[in-house]
Structure 1
Amino acid sequence: MTTTFTPAIPNTNASALTKKRRIAFASYVDENYLPGFLVLLRSLALSNPGVCEDFVVLYDDLRPASVAKIRALHPRIVLQRVNDTHYDSYVKGDQDNYLVRKAYFILDVFRLREYDTIITLDTDMVVLGGLGELLELREGLAAVPQFFYGQHKLNSGLLVIQKEYLSDEFCAKIDKTGRNGEYELDKHDQGILNAVLDGDFVRLDAKYNFVKRRLSGDLPVPEETKILHFTGRHKPWQGGESGYAQAEDRWREFDMNDADFHAAYFASSGGLHHDLVVHFGAPHVKRTGDVEIARKVAA
């Protein structure tokens, strides 16, 4: 899959210059979920060391220091402020709960027009394996079906969205459903998408959005899991939840300082992406004086 190894080129010209698909990851991030997002970025780099696509950060209240932490973990961060007032007209289960209000902001991803494929990731996820199969998808809107509701409804924690859905027409369907309230109000953005799609989505294997609830009773994380999703109120960076110690241990593998992260990246097996080598290598060399890494950065 050659797309994952294309050089970093400014957004406006990449498609015209390379004649290749534009692929991006995207997440909505705020100060409360920033610790989870930083772990997500580290896990993505360490589990997919040869992948470096744009990462669109949808935000509304990030502080400059928080943005700096994010940029330190990825060389192709694209900041996109959400149109938060747009969702005030949506019917919601609790209009006054700020977390409920923010749950809709990820829907701004459908208003992006410069990409052929966008992969959304919730900030309470950790990437444990290769995502090549997702990067190669070319049709439809793909997601993992909900754990408790069978095959008809999707879990919106991970979406693989193709360009046909990144359109004014699809956004109009989202807005219509949000404003008339004909969806599961307690499911927020996920409820709207399920109402709009009505089961018409590409089913992905559960390994790409393996929800924590599958591991109740402190079960180990299956080896084939690609993305582990810490659904529910209790997040690992907030102290976690009893009965999920082995799952939370996998999350903590990526809760590390910059020095350990850079060292872990250069110890990764497989090809390293040149943009990540430069981005992580320069501070690593400055800190350690590592001659071998300096040669890689220079090359």
Structure 2
Amino acid sequence: MPYQDEGNAPEYPAGKKYIQMVNTSQQLGFSASGPARNRKAIMFCCDQNYLVFAAHAASQIADLHPQRDFDICICFDKRPVSVPDTLDHLNIRLCHVKTGDLFKGLRLDRGKSHDVYLRLALPLAFADDYDRILYLDSDIFIQGGDFSSLMDVDFAPHPIAAVRDNTQWRTPKRRPKQFKTLNLPAAPYFNAGVILMDVTRYNEQNLLDRCLTLGKEHADIMIRHDQNLYNSVLQGDWAELSPMWNWQFTWSSLLFAMQIEPHLVHFIGKTKPWKDPKGELSPRFAKAMQAFSERYFPDLDVLQAAGQPLAPDSAKMRKMLLKHFVSGARTQRYLNRFSDDLQVITSRSR
């Protein structure tokens, strides 16, 4: 069961008591279901709608690391989250990160809350608890990998390490659209679905404040959310991880993933295992998530739309095969940059 404070902690979802904490650096407050157990953590930021997917990924990581030396945290702010008691065996640290008006003035897509920016504040909020934070999106599927060793890799002097966005896998010099609108030169551009953060360097380099300043000054021309803030501020000042840790799953890379077997599959775009009307993804992803949901979230109907798998003679299958044939050499060239899954490429060696 979650840790319970002896004081007058307020009631949070599911009627559990949560210990009150405040970060001393800039008074970013938060409540948590227990104290930090280790000096590094894997963190998800989600609302109740995506909790089942974050919890599924957390359970996959926990299964890989039965004697783990890192915490697994699920964080939220404006939209509350309640983890069912049946998942107590995962020892998830549920954290309410209280950002107040920190993100006010940043652009938002319709239907979104400022919680989409929450990952920006994690190193500041948890400065007293963790030295390393591995942030993960919830729309992922874990297949393997030593996550503890990943969080120990050296990527100095950079504040973060991440995987290049798939738009630059085959065309590394492509200039992102956001860079064009901000009149910035081309630079390596990463996907923010997996970010390894060095807490001290992140805070010493004022990465949060720099992102907030840029985002509020140019809110009218910003695209998406914090991914473009990070990349526009850093302009290549980040360390590059192997795509094994963030294989961005698209129809044009699906077959390569079957051969490479990446540690982490990231379902970017609108097609997800639980929302795949055209049957573009392997059914195994949806089956695994559905089995998990039926066991721990029995009241949810996870599979919103699941079509039949692509037929071998379908137009989309033929297009997929042609795309793979044309891009194979450039994809291999990108993969060859990494001698193993824990190699880190810094800006000095690019």
Per the TM alignment, residue 93 of structure 1 is displaced from its structure 2 partner at its CA by 5.8
Q: 1:136 aligns with which of 143, 152, 159?
A: 152
1:185 matched residue in structure 2: 222
Paired with 2:122 and 2:215, the residues of 1 have a C-alpha distance of 15
Mark the CA change 1:259 to 1:67 in structure 2 (over 3 Å): closer, same or farther.
Answer: closer
Query: Which residue of 230, 251, 274 corresponds with 2:267?
Result: 230
Pair 1:200-2:215 in alignment: no
Partner of 1:240: 276
Which amino acid is 2:284 matched to?
A: D
Deviation at 1:185, TM superposition (A): 1.9
1:217, distance to aligned residue in structure 2 (A) = 6.4
Counterparts of 1:70 and 1:152 in 2: how far apart (Å)? 42
The higher relative CO (CA closer than 8 Å, separation ≥ 6) is in: 1
Check conservation: 1:215, 1:244, Cα contact below 8 A. Answer: no
Cα distance, 1:252 vs structure 2:
3.3
Larger radius of gyration: 2
For the 8 Å contact 2:143–2:264, the answer to whether it is kept is yes
With normalisation by structure 1, the TM-score equals 0.69
Paired amino acid for 1:42: S
Give the aligned length.
238
Any residues of structure 2 matched to 1:1-299 within 5 Å, and which? Answer: 11=35, 22-60=39-77, 61-63=79-81, 66-68=82-84, 71-72=87-88, 74-83=90-99, 85-90=101-106, 92=107, 94=109, 97-99=110-112, 101-111=114-124, 112-113=126-127, 114-130=129-145, 131-139=147-155, 140=158, 141-149=160-168, 150=172, 152-163=188-199, 164-167=201-204, 169-181=206-218, 185-213=222-250, 215=252, 221-237=258-274, 239-246=275-282, 248-250=283-285, 252-257=287-292
Long gaps (5+) in structure 1: 1-9, 15-20, 262-299
For 1:170, the aligned partner's letter is L
Q: Which runs of 4+ in 1 moved over 6 A?
A: 258-261
The one-letter code matched in structure 2 to 1:25 is: I
Instruction: Tell me the amino acid that sits aligned with residue 178 of structure 1.
Output: G
Question: Structure 1 residues 259 and 243 mapped into 2: Cα distance closer, same or farther (>3 Å)?
Answer: closer
- Structure 2 unaligned regions, length at least 5: 1-33, 173-186, 297-350
How far 1:70 moved relative to its partner? Answer: 8.0
TM-score w.r.t. length of structure 2: 0.59
- 1:54–1:77 CA contact under 8 A, matched in 2: yes
The alpha-carbon deviation at position 143 of structure 1 amounts to 0.2
Contact 2:105–2:219 (CA<8 Å) still a contact in 1?
A: no
Match of 2:333 in 1: none
**Greater share of residues in helix:** 1
Aligned-residue offset at 1:120: 0.3
Distance 2:206 2:192 in 1: 20
